Structure 1
Amino acid sequence: MATTASPSVAPPMVLSHRARMAVLGATLLGLFLASLDQTIVGTALPRIVTDLHGDSLYTWVVTVYLLTSTITGPIYGRLSDAYGRKPLLMIGISLFLVGSALSGLSQNMTELISFRALQGLGAGALFPISLAVIGDLFSPRERGRYQGVFGAVFGISFIAGPFLGGFLTDHVSWHWVFYVNLPIGIAALAIIAAVLPTVRRASGSWRDIDFLGIGLFTAGVVPLLIGLSNKGQPDATGALPAWLSPQVGGLILLGALVLVGFVLAESRAREPIMPLDLFRDRTYSASQAAVFLIAVAMFTAVIFLPRYYQAVRGVSATASGYEIWPLLLGLIGGSMVGGILISKRGRYRWLLTGSAVLLIAGAALMTRLDATTGSPALWAWMLVLGLGVGPSLSGFTVVVQNCVTANRIGVATSTLTFFRQVGGSVGLAAAGTLFSSTFANRLPTEIAAQGVPASATAHLTGNQGSLTAVGDIGGQISAALPPAQHDLVGRIVTAVHDAFAASVAQMFWLSLAASALALVAIVVLREVPLRGGRHGSERDPGDMVAVA
């Protein structure tokens, strides 16, 4: 089995312990900025799309952010290897802040989606570069502990984000879920400018950037995701387009063909954005596959569970953030404890295998969700799900960085982030498609089960988009029915809630399948012991240089 070059033991950035902690704090702040935005928007999103009349574009507010950050992530990773983490991280934060300000000023869904895309262009730098800095600061054996802290920051943002997003949405305005990024981002820029040194390759040129690969990847992923999103969008009659229609199957096929060309181009590129030779290492390639699949499973819960609480339970945006606390507790605890155990034992395969089993169990439990599921049971299910995801937030970054030499940490980490982001994008598109399809098919059955006559059901045809929005569903149904049928509103609302809950539960079958495949990928991993301690001394031959 061919493998990559032997990785280094000591980090390429030689700093005092105090300086390392200062750099760590600065990069943690940058990571918190990006991860907070994902969660704060998720809780406020039901109200945003209701106010902007864009329920049919619900998933695209998140998907376009993930898409642009995914496309730019590998570019930032490659450039940071050549020119240093610091300038690229500052550029990314600056773009992110501009996108945040403009998103808060949005007056319609088209503007919001466009400015969220700009936010994603900046966020593409924050995740991979922040994680790569850990590889610069610490030896492989030390990285688990600190990658676990990064995973915990991600989890903490999941707690703070829903609460803050809900509070601002309910008591101020949803516009402030974007404006709140500005003071955090300005503080991050100031700290990074002051304490983060530049570590770059001894040689590097903009001519090394794989522009052809970037173009082909973009041209392939965009139609693929649009096709998946179109499948879940009903027309004026409430019918969903067929899989073989041009706007669905045609776009998916186009995207797949372009991505084949992308792989061929990468095999010939001088400095590919996704180096194919790294995939000859079984551990590296299996890690990328596992991260992709876990992201598919995770994003369904993070985005749609708050919507379930608001639409079915009728709770406020703030309360929906509180209700998913067990999921977030599992994420934080699993990431931190997992990172510590990896650093202490120097091994990772057993931990990642166990966490995948928990993820499968959590997804299986969530398929039992309905409108009457009690809070204690649902909290327990979410805790199991979170504990299944948590160790992957820290563990796989350690594994991948242990597979490569110091001069490829940036591109390896950005590739991992790329697969996580693509998995999130694909998962959201597929989950949105599955949700819309299930709701459209299930609603007539649930309405009939409540004893509502077909004459009343006919008045709701073509109005299913508004039935999945948050707010006064009963009032919307009353407006659609003639006065003589207003006594049926209560039963129809019950049917809508049952159909909505069943649709969310159906999405977790997707999470279950992805989790099972992730376990298969983890079983394939080779156990490569993490080397080096606090005073490790082996280094790669002078390919990386520090610049003050």
Structure 2
Amino acid sequence: MRNPFSKPKADKQAEEPVPTAPVVEATVAVTDTSTGKPEDVTTTKSNSLASSGSDVAKSELEDGSVGAEKVAAHGPPGEQPEGDFPPFRQQLLIMSALLMSVFLIAIDQTIVATAIPRMTDEFHSLDDVGWYGSAFMLTASCFQLLFGRIYTFYTPKYVFMLLILVFEIGSAICGAAPNSTTFIVGRAVAGTGVAGIMNGAIILMLSTLPLAKRPMWMGLFGAVFGVASVVGPLVGGAFTTDVTWRWCFYINLPIGAVAIVVVLFLIKPSPAVQSGLSIRQQLAKLDIVGQICLLPCIVCLLIALQWGGSVYEYSNWRMIILYLFFGLLLVGFVLVQIFMQNVATIPARVIRNRSMIFGMLHTFCVSACMLSLTYFLPIWFQAIKGTSAVRSGIDTIPLVLSLVVGNIMAGQIVGRIGYYTAMAWASAVVVPIGAGLLNTLNVNTRSPTWIGYQILVGFGIGLGMQQGTMAAQTVLPPKDVPLGVSLMMFMRQFSGAIFVSVSQNVFDTQLVSQLTKFDTGLSSQEIINTGATNIRGVVPAAQLPELLQVYNLAIRKVFQVALIVACISVIGALGMEWKSLKDKNALGAGGDGKKTTSKPSTPDEKV
């Protein structure tokens, strides 16, 4: 499929300041203001983020929007000569280090799932499971947009190394955590590092590889995510069963250290796009007030979701204060986005687009469904079926593998037919059916049944996972595409942070309410603190079948949450416009249906 960005470059035009927007999986954007008289064109000039040895003027680097995926595939103006790139062997070492970094952040999102039941045994903290995922995704999502701009202020090489170090520190804290609270802090620190690692990997690739080699390596970035999704639960289960769950995090340390050393010695430092700014000028370009409102706003919501109904009644004064602060901070964040458009995290011109609104809803729901199932299916296998951690990882392969297959297939189909909405509709049909079938699982469900259910729901999630991103690339003008895509990625991380906690609250509330109905000789809190896998050893054998039924019912309530958000995704799919990627390619427009004109490209501008 012809890339929508591969079109003649137009002269620079005056534009309003556009916030930078990093994208974890594929796109990094760097934007700034440029001056000059507007012309009758709708295209913008794209420039390299970090082109080592480039003679491009700073005014050119700051012009327009720069998408890393776009530049990676087609090259920036003033592309440096082949001889200015590192030698072939050095390129291999550098790209291997970057792929290792991407693999670390990808596997860290799934490796913990099969280790959680054993961790709850050691920490006596079954009611903290929601925070194990939410703390990581909270910081990864909230700082995602911030780090994209920071990359423009400082040398990308050193920012990238610092973020890997932050991730390593978080992993070390998790591995050595003596209690659940320390582990949660470690997950939050690791998520902070993850927020900017993928962006940095793509930026550094631009100064490492010539144009012709970039598409293959961009494909490898996606392949690494797919492989990590499959092997993560297996590796986590193997460590948990044969060594200790702590090695799920210690393993990050040597791999990350190798990546840092390779980047340090083999990559030449390239100047930052806005390297001359003072600290005050840098802060002026960041949505600091918005970030101050957003992070505590989400924290208040997560705590309220964690405590409500299980720890405190919803009418408790603590809950009222949490919801009050959540509401006030949310209003503050919205006001900042409205009245500080120059630095707003979410500009109004983007969020007003119909396909963007419904695409974000669809992405939010599909991701929420996926994360709820990813975290609680291993608990179902280990608690209900009595499997080991490694076995539960194997048992969840149908879900993850079918998700990867669905994702790849949807990309191929959209590339052929041009309409992303068709795949969003297909996902909105398949996912609710699969999630509904998972709600029928019981203690006696046989393997062919739960394998088939996982394949169905995983395939549906894969079909819909990228369609919000495709909508952003189709309906927005080129200069806003990176920002739109990054917002979709933000919704993906944000939904995980919220709904892992929601699922945990539903599980705890249901389990406590059911445990009060029969006498096991243990209090409800003692059973919860026992952990998912040790429950068979502390409950009398005669009462174990009944207790397993209670556990099964509580986990099925979580699957009902997944079913509800899967059904809501239908609204998002129906709301997205039927616009074709091919039409955008043909017209060179940002989804507005207007043919663009541009002046002839200069030799330096040709791709």
TM-score under structure 1 length normalisation: 0.82
Asked if 2 retains the 8 angstrom alpha-carbon contact of 1:443 and 1:495, the reply is no
Report the AA paired with residue 438 of structure 1. Q
Asked if 1 retains the 8 angstrom alpha-carbon contact of 2:120 and 2:529, the reply is no
Q: Does residue 1:162 correspond to 2:233, yes or no?
A: yes
1:66-119, Cα deviation, whole Å (9 max, x unpaired): 111121112123434666865544432221112112221222222211111110
Which one of the candidate residues 537, 550, 558 is aligned to 1:475? 537
Cα separation, partners in 2 of 1:144 and 1:422, compared to 1, 3 Å: farther
Q: Does residue 1:430 correspond to 2:430, yes or no?
A: no
Q: Alignment identity in percent?
A: 26
Match of 2:529 in 1: 466
Cα separation, partners in 2 of 1:202 and 1:64, compared to 1, 3 Å: closer
Match of 2:292 in 1: 215
Asked if 1 retains the 8 angstrom alpha-carbon contact of 2:156 and 2:272, the reply is yes
Cα separation, partners in 2 of 1:157 and 1:290, compared to 1, 3 Å: same
Taking the aligned partners of 1:343 and 1:396, their CA distance within structure 2 comes to 15
Cα separation, partners in 2 of 1:278 and 1:7, compared to 1, 3 Å: farther
RMSD, aligned α-carbons:
3.8
TM-score under structure 2 length normalisation: 0.74
Q: Which structure shows the bigger proportion of residues in helix conformation?
A: 1
Indicate the larger mover: 268-277 or 4-13: 4-13
Taking the aligned partners of 1:9 and 1:518, their CA distance within structure 2 comes to 36
Question: What secondary structure, in the 3-state scheme, does the structure 2 residue paired with 1:38 have?
Answer: coil
Cα separation, partners in 2 of 1:153 and 1:515, compared to 1, 3 Å: farther
Cα separation, partners in 2 of 1:428 and 1:131, compared to 1, 3 Å: farther
Report the AA paired with residue 518 of structure 1. S
Taking the aligned partners of 2:321 and 2:253, their CA distance within structure 1 comes to 41
Taking the aligned partners of 2:408 and 2:597, their CA distance within structure 1 comes to 28
Question: What secondary structure, in the 3-state scheme, does the structure 1 residue paired with 2:139 have?
Answer: helix
Taking the aligned partners of 1:144 and 1:232, their CA distance within structure 2 comes to 50
Measured after TM superposition, the shift of residue 458 of structure 1 is: 5.6
Q: Does residue 1:363 correspond to 2:435, yes or no?
A: yes
Taking the aligned partners of 2:522 and 2:325, their CA distance within structure 1 comes to 38
Q: How does 1:438-457 map to 2 (within 5 A)?
A: 438-445=510-517, 447=518, 456-457=519-520
Taking the aligned partners of 1:398 and 1:133, their CA distance within structure 2 comes to 25
Cα separation, partners in 2 of 1:500 and 1:342, compared to 1, 3 Å: same
Question: What secondary structure, in the 3-state scheme, does the structure 2 residue paired with 1:368 have?
Answer: coil
Q: How does 1:196-211 map to 2 (within 5 A)?
A: 205-206=281-282, 207-211=284-288
Question: What secondary structure, in the 3-state scheme, does the structure 2 residue paired with 1:292 have?
Answer: helix
Match of 2:252 in 1: 181
Taking the aligned partners of 1:381 and 1:429, their CA distance within structure 2 comes to 24
Cα separation, partners in 2 of 1:412 and 1:317, compared to 1, 3 Å: same
Match of 1:330 in 2: 402
Indicate the larger mover: 24-33 or 412-421: 24-33
Taking the aligned partners of 1:91 and 1:7, their CA distance within structure 2 comes to 35
Taking the aligned partners of 1:134 and 1:341, their CA distance within structure 2 comes to 28
Measured after TM superposition, the shift of residue 464 of structure 1 is: 3.0
Match of 1:268 in 2: 339
Match of 1:319 in 2: 391
Question: What secondary structure, in the 3-state scheme, does the structure 1 residue paired with 2:442 have?
Answer: coil
Measured after TM superposition, the shift of residue 474 of structure 1 is: 3.8
Q: Does residue 1:495 correspond to 2:572, yes or no?
A: no
Taking the aligned partners of 2:175 and 2:347, their CA distance within structure 1 comes to 38
Taking the aligned partners of 2:375 and 2:450, their CA distance within structure 1 comes to 16
Report the AA paired with residue 537 of structure 2. G
Report the AA paired with residue 275 of structure 1. P
Q: Does residue 1:378 correspond to 2:455, yes or no?
A: no
Measured after TM superposition, the shift of residue 201 of structure 1 is: 5.5
Question: What secondary structure, in the 3-state scheme, does the structure 1 residue paired with 2:440 have?
Answer: coil
Which one of the candidate residues 53, 56, 77 is aligned to 2:124? 53
Indicate the larger mover: 295-304 or 127-136: 127-136
Question: What secondary structure, in the 3-state scheme, does the structure 2 residue paired with 1:59 have?
Answer: helix
Asked if 1 retains the 8 angstrom alpha-carbon contact of 2:305 and 2:501, the reply is yes
Asked if 1 retains the 8 angstrom alpha-carbon contact of 2:166 and 2:190, the reply is yes
Measured after TM superposition, the shift of residue 393 of structure 1 is: 3.5
Measured after TM superposition, the shift of residue 428 of structure 1 is: 0.8
Cα separation, partners in 2 of 1:39 and 1:475, compared to 1, 3 Å: same
Question: What secondary structure, in the 3-state scheme, does the structure 2 residue paired with 1:58 have?
Answer: helix
Measured after TM superposition, the shift of residue 155 of structure 1 is: 3.5
Report the AA paired with residue 289 of structure 2. L
Which one of the candidate residues 576, 590, 595 is aligned to 1:525? 576
Taking the aligned partners of 1:517 and 1:196, their CA distance within structure 2 comes to 48
Measured after TM superposition, the shift of residue 144 of structure 1 is: 12
Measured after TM superposition, the shift of residue 332 of structure 1 is: 1.0
Asked if 1 retains the 8 angstrom alpha-carbon contact of 2:120 and 2:530, the reply is no
Asked if 2 retains the 8 angstrom alpha-carbon contact of 1:12 and 1:406, the reply is no
Measured after TM superposition, the shift of residue 44 of structure 1 is: 0.9
Measured after TM superposition, the shift of residue 511 of structure 1 is: 1.2
